[in-house]
């Protein structure tokens, strides 16, 4: 059919395996370090925070890891997600390009995050975990874990960055509807939160601080509580590979293969989810798709950050990894509305970018919302502000193809809907958002705070 708009797989097509990029990494992974000793971490150290099955996945070099049936059963609530051909957007742009998007906002929590939340809750349940702690910025990850925790009867404590907690009461209520407890971070519940508040009672919080609080609660719980992270770690990225595996089949249904695949990047998980299965095809089957990570100008960890060892959180309690970083003390400017605010980037995304296997672009905030509105008015879906960065870059690709008269096949991941993010749109419509490019000097200043690791940087 030539004018087909959606490419739908059946439940039987739901992937049975996650794809683990570690098996095909063209560059060897750097060791993960203990933040106290600066030596490679031991399973004992990680075992305080994560169940063993997830630690094994973190270091596994197996190419495919079977998805447990219990996880697939819950995936069936929303997977396989649809692949759309953005025909109306193509028409609006008058482009010669074909634009496809994989719609992860079709999940009940509204983003790709349940793909790993469900898996993490499953493995924690199997290991006897009673409660999970986590952080959330914009609230998508917290919502996903709250839902998954409820499905597996595990209590969930969410440390939500204070500025978002105040700006996004409906995200908080969604988490509470799923039965989670939500705290505005920095809180007075943790030693670290109290120390931040003592220095600045009006601290707006940051993801780095919220991670520190969630890690502290799990680490001091005597084993009853574990910590769950929504991005950055290998196992999280691997759980997201269902996106790209489905998209490969759906592009095949459409009779096309992408020239370029794009995803926005916070910690890297939705980008890796859609891009790594296509990277495998590049590395193993001679395909030549360009893989482009899209980040905000305000948090440019790939395009301006330094590739080195850094702490995963502000309080230096989470493991140290080698990644592109803006420094673990990074606090994003309050004028920035998107949720892509983590200071670092997944180690595998960082390593692949460094070695030239993937590309990165940074886009300004106002142009990003502009693209989001064009997309909403053409396709009817309001993108999450994070996903809007991928929309911007996809539109730029389509306009570039138009200028060159090329038929370019573009695929991007629409990682979530923005139905709970209308405050950010309101700020945009009322002229309260500004463009802000993170200064290179600030990154250089952060260099002085890096851990002094005795390994090649
Ligand atoms: C809708 C959406 N897309 C993307 C991201 C960025 O995270 P990641 O890079 O892990 O996909 C987030 C993070 O909160 C999100 O909510």
Q: Indicate the range of 121-135, 224-238, 316-330 predicted with least confidence.
A: 316-330
- Cis bond upstream, residue 80 (ω within 30): yes
Q: pLDDT over 90 for what percent of the chain?
A: 85
**Which residue lies with its CA nearest to atom 6 of ligand 1?**
266
| Residue bearing the bigger pLDDT, 436 or 182 | 182
415 lines ligand 1 (CB under 6 A): yes
DSSP bridge partners of 185: 161
Mutation pick for ligand 1 pocket among 103, 111, 235 (CB with most ligand atoms within 8 Å):
111
107 lines ligand 1 (CB under 6 A): no
The mean predicted confidence, pLDDT, of the chain is 94
- Rg for the chain (alpha carbons), in Å? 20
Mutation pick for ligand 1 pocket among 140, 267, 342, 417 (CB with most ligand atoms within 8 Å):
140
Decide: 340 and 370 in contact? Cβ < 8 Å: no
387 lines ligand 1 (CB under 6 A): yes
Alpha helix ranges (H) inside 358-421 = 365-379, 385-404
35 lines ligand 1 (CB under 6 A): no
395-402 average pLDDT score:
98
**Which residue lies with its CA nearest to atom 1 of ligand 1?**
416
Give the chain's domains with CATH numbers.
6-14+80-110+241-437 (3.40.50.1100), 17-65+112-234 (3.40.50.1100)
240-268 average pLDDT score:
98
Of the candidates 141, 204, 196, 200, the residue with the CA atom closest to the CA atom of residue 167 = 204
212 lines ligand 1 (CB under 6 A): no
| Residue bearing the bigger pLDDT, 108 or 454 | 108
* CA distance linking residue 174 with residue 159, whole number of Å: 14
Residue 426: partners with Cβ closer than 8 Å, 6 or more residues away? none
233 lines ligand 1 (CB under 6 A): no
135 lines ligand 1 (CB under 6 A): no
Q: What are the tens digits of pLDDT across the range 121-143?
A: 999 999 999 999 999 988 999 99
264 lines ligand 1 (CB under 6 A): yes
Q: What per-residue string of b and e applies to 61-99 under the rule 16 or more CB within 10 Å gives b?
A: eeeebebeebbbebbeeebbbbbbbbebbbebbebebbb
Question: Which one-letter DSSP state was computed for residue 383?
Answer: B
Ligand 1 centroid, distance to 263 Cα (angstroms): 10
Ligand 1 centroid, distance to 164 Cα (angstroms): 15
| Residue bearing the bigger pLDDT, 241 or 208 | 241
* CA distance linking residue 224 with residue 452, whole number of Å: 33
* C-alpha dist (Å) from residue 118 to 76, 149, 236: 11, 8, 11
Atom of ligand 1 nearest to the CA of 105: 1
- Residue 204 neighbours by CB distance under 10 Å: 17
pLDDT of the residue at 330? 82
414-439 average pLDDT score:
94
**Which residue lies with its CA nearest to atom 16 of ligand 1?**
140
- Residue 244 neighbours by CB distance under 10 Å: 26
Residue 1, pLDDT > 50, answer no
Decide: 263 and 241 in contact? Cβ < 8 Å: no
157-162 average pLDDT score:
96
231 lines ligand 1 (CB under 6 A): yes
* CA distance linking residue 18 with residue 22, whole number of Å: 12
pLDDT of the residue at 68? 98
The pLDDT confidence band at residue 2, using thresholds 50, 70 and 90, is low
Residue 247, pLDDT > 80, answer yes
340 lines ligand 1 (CB under 6 A): yes
Ligand 1 centroid, distance to 405 Cα (angstroms): 33
267 lines ligand 1 (CB under 6 A): yes
| Residue bearing the bigger pLDDT, 338 or 303 | 303
pTM: 0.96
Ligand 1 centroid, distance to 1 Cα (angstroms): 33
**Which residue lies with its CA nearest to atom 7 of ligand 1?**
266
* CA distance linking residue 402 with residue 344, whole number of Å: 34
Ligand 1 centroid, distance to 2 Cα (angstroms): 33
pLDDT of the residue at 337? 66
Q: Indicate the range of 340-344, 385-389, 432-436 predicted with least confidence.
A: 340-344
The pLDDT confidence band at residue 408, using thresholds 50, 70 and 90, is very high
Residue 238, pLDDT > 80, answer yes
Q: pLDDT over 70 for what percent of the chain?
A: 98
270 lines ligand 1 (CB under 6 A): yes
Q: What are the tens digits of pLDDT across the range 353-387?
A: 999 999 999 999 999 999 999 999 999 999 999 99
pLDDT of the residue at 244? 99
Please, what is the angle between helix 385-404 and helix 365-379, to 10°? 80
Q: What are the tens digits of pLDDT across the range 35-65?
A: 999 999 988 889 999 999 999 999 999 999 9
Task: Report the C-alpha dihedral over residues 325, 326, 332, 336, rounded to 10 degrees.
Answer: -80
Helix (H, G, I), strand (E, B) or coil at 168: coil
Ligand 1 centroid, distance to 185 Cα (angstroms): 19
Residue 32, pLDDT > 60, answer yes
- Residue 44 neighbours by CB distance under 10 Å: 9
pLDDT of the residue at 454? 77
* CA 4 to mean position of chain CA atoms: 30
| Residue bearing the bigger pLDDT, 437 or 411 | 411
Residue 457, pLDDT > 70, answer no
The full DSSP string for 326-372 is S-TT----TT--SS---SS--HHHHHHHHTTSSEEEEE-HHHHHHHH
Please, what is the angle between helix 269-285 and helix 347-354, to 10°? 50
Q: What are the tens digits of pLDDT across the range 57-92?
A: 999 999 999 999 999 999 999 999 999 999 999 999
* CA distance linking residue 181 with residue 146, whole number of Å: 9
Of the candidates 39, 67, 417, 49, the residue with the CA atom closest to the CA atom of residue 229 = 49
* CA distance linking residue 385 with residue 337, whole number of Å: 7
């Amino acid at each position: 059919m030539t004018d087909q708009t959606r490419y739908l797989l059946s439940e039987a097509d739901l992937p049975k395996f996650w794809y683990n990029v570690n098996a095909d990494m063209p560059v060897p992974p750097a060791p993960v370090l203990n933040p106290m000793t600066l030596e490679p971490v031991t399973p004992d150290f990680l075992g305080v925070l994560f169940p063993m099955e997830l630690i094994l996945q973190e270091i596994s070099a197996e190419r495919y890891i079977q998805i447990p049936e219990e996880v697939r059963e819950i995936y069936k609530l929303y997977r396989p997600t649809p692949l759309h051909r953005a025909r109306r957007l193509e028409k609006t742009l008058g482009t010669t390009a074909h634009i496809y998007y994989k719609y992860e906002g079709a999940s009940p929590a509204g983003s790709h995050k349940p793909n790993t939340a469900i898996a993490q809750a499953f493995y924690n349940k199997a290991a006897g975990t009673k409660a999970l702690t986590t952080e959330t910025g914009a609230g998508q990850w917290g919502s996903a874990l709250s839902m998954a925790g409820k499905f597996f009867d595990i209590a969930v404590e969410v440390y939500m960055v204070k500025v978002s907690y105040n700006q996004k009461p409906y995200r908080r209520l969604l988490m509470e509807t799923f039965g989670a407890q939500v705290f505005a971070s920095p809180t007075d519940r943790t030693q670290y939160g109290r120390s931040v508040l003592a220095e600045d009672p009006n601290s707006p919080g940051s993801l780095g601080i919220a991670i520190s609080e969630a890690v502290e609660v799990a680490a001091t719980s005597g084993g009853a509580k574990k910590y769950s992270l929504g991005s950055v770690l290998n196992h999280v990225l691997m759980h997201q590979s269902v996106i790209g595996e489905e998209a490969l089949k759906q592009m095949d249904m459409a009779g096309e293969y992408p020239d370029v695949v794009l995803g926005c990047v916070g910690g890297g998980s939705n980008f890796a989810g859609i891009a790594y299965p296509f990277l495998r095809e590049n590395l193993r089957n001679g395909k030549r798709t360009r893989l482009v990570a899209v980040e905000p100008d305000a948090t440019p960890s790939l395009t301006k950050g330094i590739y080195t060892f850094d702490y995963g959180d502000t309080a230096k309690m989470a493991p140290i990894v080698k990644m592109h970083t803006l420094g673990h003390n990074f606090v994003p400017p309050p004028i920035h509305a998107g949720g892509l605010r983590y200071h670092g980037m997944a180690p595998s995304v960082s390593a692949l970018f460094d070695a030239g296997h993937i590309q990165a672009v940074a886009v300004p905030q106002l142009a990003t919302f502009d693209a989001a509105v064009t997309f909403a008015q053409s396709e009817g879906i309001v993108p999450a502000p994070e996903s809007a960065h991928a929309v911007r870059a996809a539109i730029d690709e389509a306009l570039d193809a138009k200028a060159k008269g090329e038929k370019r096949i573009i695929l991007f991941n629409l990682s979530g809907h923005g139905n709970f993010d209308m405050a950010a749109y309101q700020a945009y419509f009322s002229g309260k958002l500004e463009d802000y490019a993170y200064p290179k000097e600030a990154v250089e200043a952060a260099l002085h705070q890096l851990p002094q690791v005795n390994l090649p940087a």
